[in-house]
């Protein structure tokens, strides 16, 4: 590899990079769809681009695939600058948001399409299509037209049609968006299995945080054309760093506080200990948060020493089965949600006073 | 599937009233499609089937306008008509076929440009395609007479660049007739093709490009096959009426090389030889069917339906 002289080596990165975006911007008229994004996606990763509708996920993916040209910045695939190259000149394949199967071709010919264009001999085409249909569990469907398939089957054909070309990166734009919940769960596991099996980088666009958390090993949370937070699922869940990410990835209780060193004072004077890791930061007004499932409820006098604790009144109790959700109101009128496992049958009735407690390391500070 | 037959229908002895009700609602449901067909069916029988049968009868009559016509199974009308006007038949098919091909060559790129490059001007461009239809057929064709006139600028330009001879002309040639037909039927070709192109999901073309097709291959492998229903509809809508057309040949074409439509027109209305005119009409119909049926079978659209 002639990599020794390139920038990645200089930066000391040893992992080969499948996709690199640097300073990529895309505008549509006045709308800045993608705003100065810099991303590095390693080889053999399951990478998720997560964000609400209209945040620029599809546009980012389309620029990697070559369907849109960036207004600024550059795109590299395996170290090679592909900015400005046509889609068919890039070693990537795409699973489109609506599958985009060719309606006039049967399943076999849909899957074989890329190989046919590359003039692969007919016998090899038959063999590879067979293997691919086997991988996506569509054996025996090869003579059907896309119109005769269910949503899940179409999704598999779209996947097979892309994977058969052995792309070095597979781009997936909300591939499970059109499926019902149960099928979606099955396909999540299935996609993960296929990614393990073929061992290539998947860049998966989704607006479903659960899907991203289940499947991806790295998640980039996007908001308004920018990347808000990047990291592993646990890491960004435990320490979202911004109110947007905290709210987008699951539920969280956010509170205003006045920070002084490693502790913050709430409106009613309660002192909250901040985690050691978050010690670096400026004093003054901050927002701190804690996940509902990290909290537990006690009688006010039974709060364990060393834990963070807030006094509140129970407003509403809902029994969900696996857990009980409590809605609490603090003395300064803020709402808190606490999710408690149904381990014992100690319940707190609506109207009772409780202490909501949690460990200092479960506190996070957002900007 | 076969095991299902093991549950016998005898296991449910039906209550008499219940089945009667179910049966009547079922038969009602079966009748609805026929009821819906009724108005159109009556219309077709009154104004198409009955006249066709009458025409078929006329084509087998003998006699003259003065002495009256009698039905005599005169099959000879057909052979006589074909011997006398075989050249007209062949010319009609040739003119109509050439015009259809020209209309396809002009209409497809036109429809493609409007569908894929029209942007927000799409509707305006479609109206422009239809604009000539706001003037009557006859007037449009007469206008071409002026355009193609010996002293007109088209002839002048073509003469000066040597495409037609110094004393050559356009008007009153077969080409003028073909040009007139092409022009008059262009919208019938363009619109169905536009509709089928417009329906194509742009992501299909992106998918083709993603799968190593350049623009040309993507067109050949995706756009063209998906626009086939439009091509079939457009060519039929042009070829069929063009084969029977007589206005273009009469106003623009060579008076010595008329089309079968001109012959039928004059036999019916001027020479008043009904049997020959009817026999010619039927022969034309059969000839068109003999061309159209294999064509539709060859490039048919069944595989697009499923
Ligand atoms: N071709 C286009 N022309 C104009 N604006 C566009 C175009 N494509 C995208 N946009 C705009 O760019 C922004 C980002 O769009 P994008 O499709 O990337 O969003 P997304 O994150 O994929 O959303 P979703 O989850 O709804 O698919 C949106 O505001 C959108 O309106
Ligand atoms: Mg999108």
Partner B contacted by A170 (CB < 8 A): no
pLDDT, tens digit, 9 for 90 and up, residues A168-225: 899 999 998 878 888 889 889 988 998 998 889 999 999 999 999 999 999 999 999 9
pLDDT, tens digit, 9 for 90 and up, residues A267-326: 888 888 888 755 556 788 888 899 999 998 988 888 888 889 999 999 999 988 888 999
Structural domains of chain B, with CATH: 54-305 (1.10.3720.10)
- Radius of gyration for chain A, computed over Cα atoms and rounded to the nearest angstrom: 25
Q: Does residue B3 have a pLDDT over 70?
A: no
pLDDT, tens digit, 9 for 90 and up, residues A101-118: 999 999 999 999 999 999
Nearest by CB: B212 against A65, A117, A147 = A117
- Asked if ipTM goes beyond 0.90, one says no
Which of A56, A174, A206, A220 most suits a substitution to test ligand 1, by most atoms within 8 Å of the C-beta?
A: A56
Q: Does residue B191 have a pLDDT over 90?
A: yes
State which ligand 1 atom lies nearest to the alpha carbon of A26. 12
Determine the average pLDDT of the residues in B180-188: 93
Top mean-pLDDT range of A192-196, A269-273, A328-332, B95-99: B95-99
Q: Does residue B52 have a pLDDT over 80?
A: yes
Q: Does residue A3 have a pLDDT over 50?
A: no
Contact flag B210-A147 (C-beta cutoff 8 Å): no
Nearest by CB: B213 against A88, A96, A162 = A88
Percentage of chain B lying above the pLDDT 70 cut: 90
B-chain residues near A147 (CB < 8 A): 306
CB A138 within 8 A of CB A156: yes
Q: What is the pLDDT of residue A339?
A: 92
CB A327 within 8 A of CB A274: no
Which tokens sit at A9? 């080596």
Determine the average pLDDT of the residues in B280-304: 82
**Contact residues of ligand 1, CB 6 A cut-off:** A 28, 31, 33, 51, 53-59, 207
Contact flag B206-A100 (C-beta cutoff 8 Å): yes
**d(Cα B237, Cα B242) in Å, to the nearest integer?**
8
Helix (H, G, I), strand (E, B) or coil at A263: strand
List, in order, residues 6 or more apart from A240 with CB less than 8 Å away. Answer: A229, A246, A249, A252, A289, A364, A366
Percentage of chain A lying above the pLDDT 70 cut: 94
**d(Cα B272, Cα A37) in Å, to the nearest integer?**
82
Q: Which residues of B fall below an 8 Å CB-CB distance to A?
A: 201, 203-204, 206-214, 217, 221-222, 225-226, 303-304, 306
Q: Does residue B305 have a pLDDT over 80?
A: no
DSSP letters for chain B: -GGGGGS-GGGS---HHHHHHHHHHHHHHHHHHHHHHHHHHHHHIIIIIHHHHHHHHHTTEEEETTTEEEE---THHHHHHHHHHHHHHHHHHHHHHHHHHHHHHHHHHHHHIIIII-GGGHHHHHHHHHGGGGS-HHHHHHHHHHHTSTTSHHHHHHHHTTSS-TT--STTSHHHHHHHHHHHHHHHHHHHHHHHHHTS-HHHHHHHHHTT--HHHHIIIIIHHHTHHHHHHHHHHHHHHHHH--HHHHHTS-TTS--HHHHHHHHHHTS--HHHHHHHHHHHHHHHHHHHHHHHHHS--HHHH-
Q: Which residue of A has its CA nearest to B304?
A: A104
Q: Does residue A12 have a pLDDT over 50?
A: no
Q: Does residue A5 have a pLDDT over 50?
A: no
Note if the pTM is more than 0.90. no
Q: Does residue B137 have a pLDDT over 90?
A: no
Structural domains of chain A, with CATH: 252-366 (2.40.50.140)
Determine the average pLDDT of the residues in B72-101: 90
Q: Using alpha carbons, select from A198, A192, A215, A137 the residue that is nearest to residue A164.
A: A198
Q: How confident is the model at residue A21 (pLDDT cuts 50, 70, 90)?
A: very high
**d(Cα B215, Cα A361) in Å, to the nearest integer?**
57
Q: What is the pLDDT of residue B21?
A: 57
- CA-proximal residue: ligand 1, atom 1 (nearest): A28
Q: What is the pLDDT of residue A270?
A: 87
Q: Which helix (H) or strand (E) holds A353?
A: strand A353-358
pLDDT, tens digit, 9 for 90 and up, residues A136-164: 889 999 999 999 999 889 999 999 999 99
CA terminus-to-terminus distance, chain B: 24
Nearest by CB: B209 against A88, A101, A145 = A88
Q: What is the pLDDT of residue B72?
A: 85
CB A268 within 8 A of CB A341: no
Q: Determine whether A250 is exposed, middle or buried from the number of CB atoms within 10 Å of its CB (0-12, 13-18, 19+).
A: middle
The conformation of residue A175, written as its DSSP 8-state character, comes to T
Q: Does residue B6 have a pLDDT over 70?
A: no
- Mutation target vs A (from B120, B203, B210; most A CBs, 10 A cutoff): B210
């Amino acid at each position: 590899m002639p990599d020794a002289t390139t920038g990645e080596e200089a930066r000391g990165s040893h992992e080969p990079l499948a996709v690199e975006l640097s300073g990529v911007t895309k505008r549509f008229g006045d709308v800045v769809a993608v705003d100065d994004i810099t991303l590095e996606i390693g080889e053999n990763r399951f990478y998720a681009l997560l964000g609400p509708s209209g945040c620029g996920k599809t546009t980012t993916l389309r620029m990697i695939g070559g369907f849109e040209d960036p207004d600024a910045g550059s795109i590299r695939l395996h170290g090679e600058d592909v900015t400005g190259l046509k889609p068919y000149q890039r070693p990537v394949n795409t699973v489109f948001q609506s599958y985009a199967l060719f309606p006039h071709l049967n399943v076999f010919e849909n899957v074989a399409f890329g190989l046919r264009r590359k003039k692969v001999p007919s016998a090899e085409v038959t063999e590879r299509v067979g293997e691919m249909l086997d991988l996506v569990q569509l054996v025996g469907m090869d003579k059907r037209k896309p119109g005769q398939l269910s949503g899940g089957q179409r999704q598999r054909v779209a996947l097979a049609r892309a994977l058969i070309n052995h792309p070095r990166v597979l781009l997936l734009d909300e591939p499970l968006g059109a499926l019902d919940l149960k099928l979606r769960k099955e396909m999540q596991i299935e996609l993960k299995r296929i990614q393990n099996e073929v061992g290539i980088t998947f860049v998966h666009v989704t607006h479903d945080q659960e899907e991203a958390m289940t499947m991806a090993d790295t998640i980039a949370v996007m908001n308004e054309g920018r990347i808000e937070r990047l990291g592993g699922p646990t890491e960004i869940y435990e320490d979202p760093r911004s109110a947007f990410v905290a709210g987008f990835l699951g539920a969280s209780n956010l509170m205003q506080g006045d920070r002084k060193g490693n502790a913050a004072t709430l409106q009613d004077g309660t002192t909250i200990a901040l985690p050691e890791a978050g010690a670096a930061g400026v004093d003054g007004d901050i927002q701190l948060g804690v996940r509902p499932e990290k909290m537990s409820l006690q009688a006010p006098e039974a709060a364990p020493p060393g834990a963070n604790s807030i006094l509140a009144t129970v407003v509403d109790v809902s029994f969900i089965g696996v857990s009980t959700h409590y809605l609490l109101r603090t003395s300064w009128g803020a709402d808190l949600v606490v999710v408690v496992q149904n381990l014992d049958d100690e319940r707190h009735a609506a109207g009772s006073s409780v202490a909501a407690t949690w460990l200092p390391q479960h506190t996070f500070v957002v900007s | 599937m076969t095991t299902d037959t093991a549950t016998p229908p005898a296991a449910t002895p039906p209550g008499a009233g219940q089945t009667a009700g179910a049966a009547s609602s079922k038969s009602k449901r079966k009748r609805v499609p026929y009821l819906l067909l009724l108005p159109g069916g009556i219309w077709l029988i009154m104004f198409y089937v009955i006249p066709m049968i009458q025409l078929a009868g006329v084509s087998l009559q003998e006699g003259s306008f003065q002495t009256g016509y009698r039905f005599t199974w005169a099959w000879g009308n057909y052979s006589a008509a074909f011997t006398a006007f075989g050249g007209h038949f062949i010319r009609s098919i040739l003119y109509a076929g050439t015009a259809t091909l020209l209309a396809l060559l002009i209409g497809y790129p036109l429809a493609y440009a409007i569908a894929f490059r029209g942007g927000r001007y799409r509707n305006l461009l479609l109206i422009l395609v239809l604009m000539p239809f706001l003037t009557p057929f006859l007037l449009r064709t007469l206008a071409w007479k002026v355009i193609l006139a010996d002293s007109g600028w088209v002839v002048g330009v073509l003469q000066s660049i040597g495409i037609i001879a110094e004393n050559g002309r356009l008007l009153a040639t077969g080409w003028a007739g073909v040009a007139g037909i092409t022009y008059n039927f262009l919208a019938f070709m363009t619109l169905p093709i536009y509709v089928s192109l417009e329906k194509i999901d742009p992501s299909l073309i992106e998918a083709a490009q993603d799968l190593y097709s350049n623009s040309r291959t993507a067109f050949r492998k995706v756009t063209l096959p998906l626009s086939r229903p439009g091509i079939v509809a457009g060519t039929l809508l042009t070829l069929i009426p063009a084969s029977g057309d007589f206005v273009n040949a009469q106003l623009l074409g060579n008076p010595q090389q008329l089309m079968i439509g001109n012959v039928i027109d004059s036999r019916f209305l001027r020479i008043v030889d009904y049997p020959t005119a009817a026999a010619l009409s039927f022969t034309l119909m059969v000839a068109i069917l003999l061309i159209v049926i294999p064509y539709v079978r060859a490039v048919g659209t069944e595989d697009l339906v499923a």
